[in-house]
Amino acid sequence: MEPIELKSQYRHALLPEPSSEELSRQDFVKSLKFHLASTISTGNKNAFDGRAARRFEKAEGRPPETMHDVRRAMQGDPYFNFWSALQRNSQEMMWKSVQMPVERQLGDLIERAAGDEGPGSLTLDPDVAVPAYHTAVDIHCMPGGYHTEFTENDVANGAVYDRAVYIYAMGRMGPFNSDIGDTAIALIKSRFPDLKPRRILDMGCAVGHSTLPYCDAWPEAEVHAIDVGAPVLRYAHGRARSLGYPVHFSQQNAESTRFPDGHFDLIVSHILVHETSARAIRAIMREARRLLAPGGVVLHGETPPYRDLPAYDAFMLDWDTRNNNEPFWGASHEIEPARIAAETGFDPDKAFEAYQPSAFEAAEQERTKVFQGGDFGGGGAWYFWGVQK
């Protein structure tokens, strides 16, 4: 194998090939996002300190303290509004820039995903209903979400998502977009050194960015990955096979799967939780408890809960809730692991939360080191929570 070039996305067999103009358009979006995150966004803090906080204090007779105070102070601030408008545009431009090459070569991509060569399996189930938390709005403004099929055997939104994640993260999740999975594995190995999983389940796997590293980390284990979206699963399967990874993908809702009781020793999810709902994440935790063997671990990777952040930073991280079609983003950042563990039948004393430094060190110099709206890959660490059964 040739050495992996760390500054570009790895060109596996399913990655759409952009024309030179399409690549330039995507590079522009990446530059725009980086410019917004690294310089324009920092002005919001100045707008807050130098203007919005003062106005708030004058009106309320006290300085803004909570995240909600900061929101009220910043609402209507012209700098914040303009940055928000630019940020929203960058997100829309990103989807457009990745849709163009996918539209142009969709027939080829479908063919490449459909071959029978390679390890692993794909089981689709058209009876799986796409939950309302995915159909109410298109999450993170991806037109059609993970589930919409634009043609037969469609893989379009898998291809769109694969490339867009790379651009969104500005390459800082590595050539395989696998940083959250890699980082989760580092945490699991240090925290549960005796865990030798026979079977692993990745919930809400999308195109399998975080799934594949589990095959490398525990080569003896059987790796399963589920999602509700058929187009992302078809793409995930084709992508995994082209890279030689034996993953068993199936279309299932993590709230209620078809796997038998006690089937897994390790259940993971990566940026799944914020795309569910208050009821669904509890159902998912109850389902994880049913699926875990004794001593097994469920672990979710996300960005930090608001309680761990200064009020201003929490407000900025909350931007996606109202500006990027992430309706559960805010509430999911208030989850308390021990409490939800107790509510869903786990022993709350076995719940945990932890920060783990990002596994992809090559991105270090381009990180902003803040978790902020429109750029959650720049923080340099991931937040994990979970519980051992």
- Interface positions with other proteins (CB under 8 A): 5, 7-8, 17, 19-21, 23-25, 27-29, 31-32, 34-35, 39-40, 42-43, 45-47, 49-51, 54, 78-79, 81-86, 88-90, 92-93, 95-97, 99, 102-108, 135-138, 141-145, 148, 150-151, 156-157, 160, 322-323, 325
Q: Which two tokens stand for residue 333?
A: 């950042």
Q: Which is nearer to other proteins, 102 or 280 (CB)?
A: 102
Contact between 357 and 185 under an 8 Å Cβ cutoff? The reply is no
CB of 21 to other proteins, least distance (A): 5
**For the residues of 83-103, what is the DSSP string, one character each?**
HHHHHHHHHHHHHHHHHHHHH
Neighbour order of strands in the sheet with 121-123: 121-123, 247-251, 222-227, 199-203, 264-270, 292-302, 381-388, 351-357
CB of 53 to other proteins, least distance (A): 8
- CA 248 – CA 80 distance, rounded (Å): 45
Contact between 319 and 87 under an 8 Å Cβ cutoff? The reply is yes
CB of 182 to other proteins, least distance (A): 23
CB of 143 to other proteins, least distance (A): 4
Q: Which is nearer to other proteins, 55 or 350 (CB)?
A: 55
Amino acid, res. 143: P
CB of 229 to other proteins, least distance (A): 14
Residue 206: left if φ>0, alpha if ψ -120 to 50, beta else—which one?
left
Q: Which is nearer to other proteins, 27 or 343 (CB)?
A: 27
Q: Which is nearer to other proteins, 69 or 326 (CB)?
A: 326
- CA 368 – CA 45 distance, rounded (Å): 14
Q: Which is nearer to other proteins, 183 or 332 (CB)?
A: 332
Cα-based distances in Å from 166 to 95, 136, 267, 342, 386: 12, 25, 25, 37, 27
DSSP H helices, the chain, are 20-35, 42-47, 53-60, 67-74, 78-104, 106-114, 132-135, 156-168, 179-191, 212-217, 230-242, 278-291, 311-317, 319-323, 329-332, 337-343
Q: Which is nearer to other proteins, 103 or 364 (CB)?
A: 103
CB of 128 to other proteins, least distance (A): 20
Q: Which is nearer to other proteins, 12 or 290 (CB)?
A: 12
- Give just the sign of the alpha carbon dihedral 164, 255, 274, 73: positive
Q: Which is nearer to other proteins, 63 or 345 (CB)?
A: 63
Position of tokens 């006290």? 62
Count of beta carbons in the 10 Å neighbourhood of residue 106: 17
Q: Which is nearer to other proteins, 72 or 290 (CB)?
A: 72
CB of 249 to other proteins, least distance (A): 22
Contact between 178 and 208 under an 8 Å Cβ cutoff? The reply is no
CB of 136 to other proteins, least distance (A): 8
Helix axes 53-60, 67-74, angle to 10 degrees: 100
CB of 273 to other proteins, least distance (A): 20
